[in-house]
């Protein structure tokens, strides 16, 4: 059969693996992401037996010891049910107005909507790396107060992952990656490393990191090979398609202490991954800002996470050490309604984690009858597309149960599955008061229509996700050339500086005003060896705005820049540098700006870098804005603009 790529349909490698009930071929199951659940209830006992046989066989073949899970420093990973992937400059975590990190604001939001977090991945370099020669370590090392942020997250009870980008080979070189990463995790006190684009790390890599930070937890992206479950405590269940009858996660079945985090970053309905996490006793990746694109979770899905993790934290021993029966027997009425459950048994207690695949609330009996003991409905019903939980105890009530029930009463199911849209709002332009340069390019007033070219990165452009509900963006839809049309109207003619502001121009500004930025990091880092006629760099938006205001002008918008550039009269300095434009946007989670012009610098060796090179005036790059001075770059300068009175 010929496979045709459809971004809205799981690829063959994403699909669940059927478990043969009549063959001795168990090795093939090593490659599964999810073991598909059988449709016929009569096949389920044999299916479960095959899963037990595979696990015993695979552990024997791979000489599994589980020693990594016995490390005291790594024990937290088996209880890490929610981890958030968060851009370091997410406006919940960082305030551009106050120039400081705001972990309390980020954590309050996570507590209210998701029941709190167990860990965060502090994402740092991509998608801004490649703008200049800074490497991935610089984007951590140059952040003032980063150690304090990690300490604040630790004090709040969270674990912290840093990110490792093995594809970063084209920026400036320091020590080898392993030495740099080991030093970073030791200095920051990081608890884990997210292995970007990697399924696993090699044994030497694992050993070196553990020596630098005993108990360090490694989490790879996508399917972890069976043999490496031995030394990787966590893994992403990213782009894992479940079967119509929910199946079993292969890595977690192999080792119950191995925590997986379900994630489908571009999806707006997370029902299937939440159901799979609930039935398997694993966690989820909460990811609402994907490299600058808003993909927020609906009230229904965030409420499901809140209810799910609250129960998981209370019954953790059952989930890790209890006897697990996937696709446990339920009443005939429940089975007919599309209700499925896992059963967990330990020390006289039995827990059913239940999902409703149907679109109607279910009100009938779920578990088989009990001769004695007490059955408690923890989540008050079985809502459509939601989760439920039932706890049976044979003798005395667990001490933690009353408190759990009190907490859950304030966590009802929310049926609202609408996507919580956000729009990025443009920061207003400043008025101009001065006279333009004599040879500035005049852009006349009136309506205009522009075609803008850009490369389709995961950052998107102005509004909306570029890959809504897509499984895994791949070529030809990843990093492909695209266009968009922009129209508007200039109420007044605009004069755009024919040349960029030079080092000599900026020096005159400093002498005249004594300007000093509130955040000095990287400000004019090139100043000692500057060449007077070259474009000034290592200035951020506020630095550029301050200069333009001194000249009685402002930065040109991206449209004004393009309209001027398409006249053919704009000059490029040497070396060529990107230009700031007055295009700062915020959706209250991400700040970004549009760069124009291109630069002579070009990081090579990976498509994940920002594209370099000189570009025509119609070309644009969306740059996510970092704070605390990190927006200042060796490859970004600016020119001024003035409104022209008629």
| CATH number of the domain that residue 388 is part of | 2.60.40.1180
CA distance 547 to 541: 10
Residue 280 Ramachandran class (φ > 0 left, ψ -120 to 50 alpha, else beta): alpha
Q: Is 497 helix (H, G, I), strand (E, B) or coil?
A: coil
Contact criterion met (CB below 8 Å) for 162 and 140: yes
Instruction: Write out the two tokens for 85.
Output: 């992937």
Under a CB-based contact definition with an 8 Å cutoff, are residues 341 and 354 in contact? yes
Q: Which residues contact 500 (CB under 8 A, 6 or more apart)?
A: 535, 536, 572, 573, 577, 579, 637, 638, 639
- pLDDT (tens digit per residue) in 591-641: 999 999 999 999 999 999 999 999 999 999 999 999 999 999 999 999 999
Query: Residue 410: how many CB atoms within 10 A of its CB?
Result: 8
**Helices 271-280 and 299-314, packing angle to 10 deg:** 10
Helix (H, G, I), strand (E, B) or coil at 488: strand
CA distances for 328 relative to 41, 344, 346, angstroms: 9, 9, 15
Global confidence as pTM: 0.97
23: helix, strand or coil: coil
- Domain with residue 585: its CATH number is 3.90.1580
Distance CA 253, CA 64 (A): 14
Residue 5 lies in a domain: no
The full 3-state SS of 108-126, as one line of letters, equals: HHHHHHHCCCCEEEEECCC
Q: Tell me if 1 is assigned to some domain.
A: no
Q: Is residue 295 included in any domain, yes or no?
A: no
pLDDT of residue 50: 97
Count of domains for the chain: 3
Task: Please report where in the chains the tokens 């090392």 appear, as a residue.
Answer: 141
Provide the token pair at 26. Answer: 């168990």
DSSP states along 389-419:
EEEEESSSPPTTHHHHHHHHHT---------
As a three-state string, the secondary structure of 241-272 is: CCCCCCCEEHHHHHCCCCEEEEECCCCCCCHH
- Where is the domain boundary, 260, 287, 314? 287
State residue 489's pLDDT score: 97
Local structure of 375: helix, strand or coil: strand
Asked whether residue 549 falls in the same domain as residue 434, the answer is: yes
DSSP β-ladder status, 82-87 and 578-579: unpaired
Mean pLDDT by 10 residues, the chain (646 residues): 84 96 90 98 97 97 95 96 98 98 98 98 98 98 98 98 98 97 98 97 96 96 96 96 98 98 97 98 98 97 98 97 98 97 97 97 95 96 98 94 97 97 94 94 98 97 94 90 97 97 98 97 97 98 98 98 98 98 98 98 97 98 98 98 90
Give the CATH number of the domain where residue 140 resides: 3.20.20.70
Q: 501 and 386 share a domain?
A: no
Q: Where are the beta strands (DSSP E) in 445-526?
A: 446-455, 481-490, 493-496
Question: Is the domain of 546 the same as that of 631?
Answer: yes
Run of H or E including 350: strand 349-356
Judge if 471 and 374 occupy the same domain.
no
In a domain, 351, yes or no: yes
Same domain, 615 and 570: yes
pLDDT score for 424: 96
Residue-range definition of the domain harbouring residue 339: 304-417
Same domain, yes or no, for 363 and 465?
Answer: no
* 217 and 74 Cβ atoms separated by less than 8 Å: yes
pLDDT at 1: 54
Retrieve residue 307's tokens: 């209810």
**What is the DSSP code (8-state) at residue 199?**
S
Q: How many CA atoms lie within 13 A of 214 on its CB side?
A: 4
Q: 3-state DSSP call for residue 74? A: helix
Give just the sign of the alpha carbon dihedral 141, 145, 151, 156.
negative
Whether residues 358 and 467 fall in one domain: no
DSSP string, 606-636: -TTSPP-EE--TTBEEEEEPPSTTTT--TTE
Residue 643's DSSP bridge partners are: 494
CA-to-CA distance for 600 and 161, rounded, in angstroms? 34
Radius of gyration, alpha carbons of the chain? 28
Tens-digit pLDDT profile for residues 435-459: 999 999 999 999 999 999 999 999 9
Same domain, 478 and 372: no
250 and 336 in a single domain? The answer is no
Spatial separation of the C-alpha atoms in residues 375 and 389, rounded to whole Å: 10
Phi/psi region, residue 63 (left: phi>0; alpha: psi -120 to 50; beta: rest), is left
Going by C-alpha positions, the residue among 490, 499, 488 that lies closest to residue 443 is 490
DSSP 296: P
Instruction: Name residue 259's beta-bridge partners.
Output: 234
- List 375's β-bridge partners, or say none: 392
Report long-range pairs for 426-429 (Cβ below 8 Å, ≥24 apart): 426/583, 426/584, 426/585, 427/582, 427/584, 427/585, 427/586, 429/554, 429/557, 429/582
Six-digit token pair at 46?
């044999």
Contact at 8 Å (CB) between 181 and 40?
no
* Residue found under tokens 């037996």: 49
* Domain end among 217, 252, 287: 287
**Alpha-carbon distance 630 to 628, whole Å?**
6
- Pure H helices in 534-611: 541-550, 558-565
Is there a domain that residue 3 lies in? no
> Are residue 345 and residue 430 in the same domain, yes or no?
no
Q: What is the rounded CA–CA span in Å between residue 15 and residue 21?
A: 19
Query: At 193, which helix (H) or strand (E)?
Result: strand 192-195
Residues 280 and 310 reside in one and the same domain: no
Which of 417, 433, 457 is the C-terminal boundary of a domain?
A: 417
Q: Is 46 domain-assigned? A: yes
The answer to whether the CB of 314 falls within 8 A of the CB of 482 is no
pLDDT at 354: 98
Judgement on whether residues 196 and 281 belong to the same structural domain of the protein: yes
Peptide bond into 379 cis (omega under 30): no
Cis peptide before 575 (omega within 30 of 0): yes
């Amino acid at each position: 059969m010929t496979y045709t790529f459809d971004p809205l349909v799981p690829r063959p490698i994403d699909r669940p693996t059927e478990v043969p009930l009549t063959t001795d071929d168990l090795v093939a199951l090593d490659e599964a992401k999810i073991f598909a659940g059988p449709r016929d209830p009569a096949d389920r006992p044999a299916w479960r037996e095959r899963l037990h046989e595979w696990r015993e066989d695979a552990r024997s073949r791979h000489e599994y010891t589980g020693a990594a899970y016995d490390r005291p420093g790594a024990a937290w990973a088996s209880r890490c049910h929610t981890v958030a992937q968060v851009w370091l400059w997410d406006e919940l975590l960082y305030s551009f107005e106050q120039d400081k990190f705001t972990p309390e604001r980020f954590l309050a939001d996570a507590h209210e909507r998701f029941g709190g977090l167990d860990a965060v991945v502090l994402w740092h370099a991509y998608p801004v790396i490649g703008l200049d020669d800074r490497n991935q370590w610089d984007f951590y090392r140059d952040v003032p107060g980063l150690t304090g942020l990690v300490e604040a997250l630790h004090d709040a009870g969270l674990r912290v992952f840093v990110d490792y980008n093995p594809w970063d080979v084209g920026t400036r070189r320091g020590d080898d990656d392993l030495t740099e990463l080991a030093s970073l995790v030791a200095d920051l006190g990081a608890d884990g490393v997210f292995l970007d684009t990697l399924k696993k790390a090699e044994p030497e890599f694992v050993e070196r990191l553990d020596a630098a930070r005993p108990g360090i937890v490694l989490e790879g992206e996508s399917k972890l090979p069976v043999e490496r479950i031995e030394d990787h405590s966590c893994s992403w269940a990213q782009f894992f398609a479940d079967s119509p009858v929910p199946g079993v996660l292969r890595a977690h079945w192999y080792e119950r202490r191995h925590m997986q985090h379900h994630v489908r970053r571009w999806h707006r309905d997370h029902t299937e991954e939440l159901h799979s996490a609930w039935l398997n006793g694993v966690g989820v990746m909460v990811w609402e800002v994907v490299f600058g694109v808003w993909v927020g979770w609906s009230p229904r899905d965030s409420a499901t996470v809140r209810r799910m993790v609250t129960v998981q934290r209370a019954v953790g021993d059952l989930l890790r050490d209890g006897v697990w029966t996937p696709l446990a027997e339920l009443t005939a009425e429940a089975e007919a309604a599309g209700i499925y459950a896992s059963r967990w048994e330990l020390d006289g207690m039995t827990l059913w984690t239940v999902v409703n695949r149907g679109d109607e609330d279910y009100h009938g009996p779920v578990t088989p009858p009990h001769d004695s003991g007490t059955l408690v409905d923890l989540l008050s019903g079985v809502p459509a597309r939601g989760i439920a939980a039932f706890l049976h105890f044979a003798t005395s009530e667990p001490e933690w149960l009353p408190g759990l029930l009190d907490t859950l009463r304030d966590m009802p199911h929310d049926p609202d599955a609408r996507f919580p849209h956000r729009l990025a709002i443009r920061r207003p332009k400043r008025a101009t008061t001065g006279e333009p340069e004599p040879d500035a390019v005049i852009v006349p007033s009136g309506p205009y229509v522009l075609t803008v070219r850009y490369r389709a990165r995961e950052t998107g452009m102005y509004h909306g996700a570029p890959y809504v509900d897509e499984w895994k963006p791949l070529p030809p839809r990843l990093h492909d050339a695209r266009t968009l049309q922009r129209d508007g109207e200039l109420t007044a003619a605009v004069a755009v500086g024919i040349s960029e502001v030079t080092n000599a121009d900026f020096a005159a500004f400093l002498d005249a005003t004594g300007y000093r930025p509130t955040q000095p990091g990287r400000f004019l880092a090139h100043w000692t060896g500057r060449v007077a006629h070259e474009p000034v760099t290592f200035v951020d938006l506020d630095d550029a705005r301050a200069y333009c205001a001194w000249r009685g002008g402002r930065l040109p918008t991206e449209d004004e820049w393009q309209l001027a550039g398409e006249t053919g009269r704009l000059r490029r300095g040497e070396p060529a540098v990107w230009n700031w434009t007055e295009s700062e946007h915020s959706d209250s989670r991400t700040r970004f700006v549009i760069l124009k012009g291109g630069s002579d610098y070009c990081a090579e060796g990976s498509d994940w870098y920002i594209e370099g090179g000189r570009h025509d005036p119609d070309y644009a790059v969306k740059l996510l804005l970092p704070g605390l001075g990190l927006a200042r770059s060796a490859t970004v300068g600016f020119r001024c603009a003035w409104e022209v009175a008629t």
